[in-house]
Each structure stands twice: as C-alpha cells, then as structure tokens.
Structure 1
Amino acid sequence: MARTVEFDIEQAIERATSVFWEKGYNGASLRELTDAMKINSSSLYNTIGDKHELFVLCLKQYTHNRRISLQEQALQATSPLAAITDFINQVSIAVIQGVNGCLAIKTAFEVSPKDDLIKAILKADNEFTQTFLSSLIKAAIAQGEIGKDKDPDLLADYIISTYTGWYELHILYRDPRKITNLAQFMIRHLTQ
C-alpha cells in the first residue's frame, strides 16, 4: 500500500520559492529544493510534479502575493499620487535591500525567453502592475495631482521599465544613493 504524503504544500512552495529566488531556475537543484521543502523527491513528484511544475506554482504564488501587497499599500495611501510615490519608494527599498533581486525580473531573463508558460505568468503580472499604476495615475490626474497632459498608460510603462533597470544598476554598483536618487527624480517628474 502506498504511503500517504502529508506536508503543508503552501509552506513547501514558499520554501522552494526562496531557493529559486536565490539560485535561479537553472541553478536550483532538485535536491536543494526538496531539502528546503523538507520532503523527498517522490513526495514532490506525487503531489506537485516535476521541477518545472514546482517553479510555475512558486512563480504564481510570488506574483499573487505581490498583487495583494500592492493593493493593500494603495488602500492605505492618502491620495492616488501618494500611492504612486509609496510604490516607487517601496520598489527602491526592495532594490536596495533585496539580496536576490526581484524573482520576476530574474526569471524574465533566465527562463521566459524559452518558456511560453513562464512568459505568460510574467506578462500577466506585468499587465496587472501596468493597469494598477495606470489607474492610480488616472485618479491622480482627476484629482489635479498630476497634469492632464500626461498619458497614464505611457507613464505606467515608463515607471515599470525604469525600475527594472534599477536592479541592474544596484547589482553593478551596490550604491543605495544612486537608486534613491533615481526614485526621487522619478517622483519629482510625475508632477512636472
């Protein structure tokens, strides 16, 4: 009779996410993943599937958690512009303090060019962020916090594409001031 596999899948996925985040998809061995998850490889195969299926679950959970966090932060802001400013400041802090960078950005370069499923997950996450920022910008325009001459979709794309470059700068220079200055520059130019 087959043994029943019992473990907290959500917690195991969280632990596996940490390994993928640190080592990347290609750098994470199955042994490192199962050790972190505190399961054996047969339990992984019987409940989740292979390494790729595990990575898909990790990436989905990561992007889902990020969405919830963004929405909660926006609800706490005093105005749409304050929510955008908080978003930009939080990204700069994540870049500076994040040891492993952003899992989604790392994955975009490592895995997604050759994996349509991963690319679709990342594209959906990017589209969520773009829509999220664009709606805040539209609300800020409606309240007179940002000029009516601004294109909300273009500005949202600009914010996203700019902060992805901050990760590269921080990897190369490890200069927190550089990232903080770029964030403040972006914030100042929202209202000009």
Structure 2
Amino acid sequence: MALAVGAGLTAPDTGRAIGFSDAVFAIIITLLVLDLRTPEVPPGGLLTRWPVYLAYATSYLYVAVNWLNHKDTFHRIRCTDRGLHWANLGVLFSVALLPFVTAVVSQAVEAGDRFDEGVAVALYGLVGVVLSAAWLYHYLSRHGELLQRHVTPRFFAVERLRALLGIMAYAAAGVVGWLVSVPAALVVLLLLPLFYGLSSNGFYDLRRRLCHR
C-alpha cells in the first residue's frame, strides 16, 4: 500500500504504474500478432499485399518504441500523482488503438478500394496524432516535483518537441495517404517509429551519440 508523501502524491515506488503499463503493452502486442493471417490472394499475388505487411511491421515497431519511451520516462520519475496516472492511462489508450487501425488498413488494402485505403491510412495518422498529443512529456514538463532530483523540468520541456513533431508528422502522413499516395504515407509512418526509437532516451542522448561518431 502506497504511503502518502505529499498532497496528491504517492510513494516514490512507481512499480505499480510500470507493471500495469507493461501488461497493457504485452496485450497490445498479442492482439497485433493474433490478427495476422494468411492473405487470400491468387497465385503470384503475395507481393501485391506488401502494404499490409508494412502496416503490421510499422505497428509492432510503434508499440515497441512507445514501450521504450515509456520505460525511459519512468526512470526519470520519482513519484506519481493522480494527474500523471490519468496521463499514463491516456497514453495506454492511444497505443491500444493500434491493433484496430492496423486491421482497418489491412482490410482496406486487401479489398483494393483506393478511397477506403486512403481513409484507413488517414485514420492511422490520426491515432498517431492522438498518441503524440497524449504523451507524458506535456504533463511532466509542468510538474517538476514528480521527477528524480537529477532531472530538471527543462528535460521534458525539450522532449515535448518530439511529441509536437509527431503531431505534425502523423497529420501530414494521414493527409498524404488520403489525398496523394497510400504507399508513400506508409513509408513515412514506418520512418517515424525509427526516429523515436533512436531518440527514446531523449534528444540529449541522441545528440551525444551523434557527436561521438
């Protein structure tokens, strides 16, 4: 049972929030895998379904990267409050939408209707926007009392730039998929998790690694 350490704060042990979040991430990964199925295509048509494979690979990578970002974020948190718990639930809710939108993209591509494909990719981009907007950086940048003593609120104020970049980039990918090209949008959606994976420990760490090359 958590001991109170201040108004609205819980004990420094954040294990309960981390354990619950890890369980949700594991369920999301499982749902993605369970939805994988052998495509029903005529002989020689497997390669025509490459956007489906790319969508699943992108979603798996996206969930993995969000788990990495979540882990590295909680390493910098000393204690929690009710607002942070709600913010964390918002992140988990957004990530939990990925199996659904991945299945929507898969079914649209398999049906071969260009309009539905565009709408499905736009929906995927919208989920990315919601997730970027929900990320914990926004809350933590305003609540330095929750952070480890060696972490300043400025760290998360800078990290908010990554979330804002995600809002703009996922919105752009959704518009491109809807109005221009579904394959081009899927490539952009794949590149974004790669960027967030490289910078999962923060812009500072990414800059340090690039400078030492």
TM-score where L is the length of structure 1: 0.32
Structure with greater helix percent? 1
Instruction: Considering Cα pairs closer than 8 Å and 6+ residues apart, tell me whether 1 or 2 has the greater RCO.
Output: 2
- TM-score using structure 2 length: 0.30
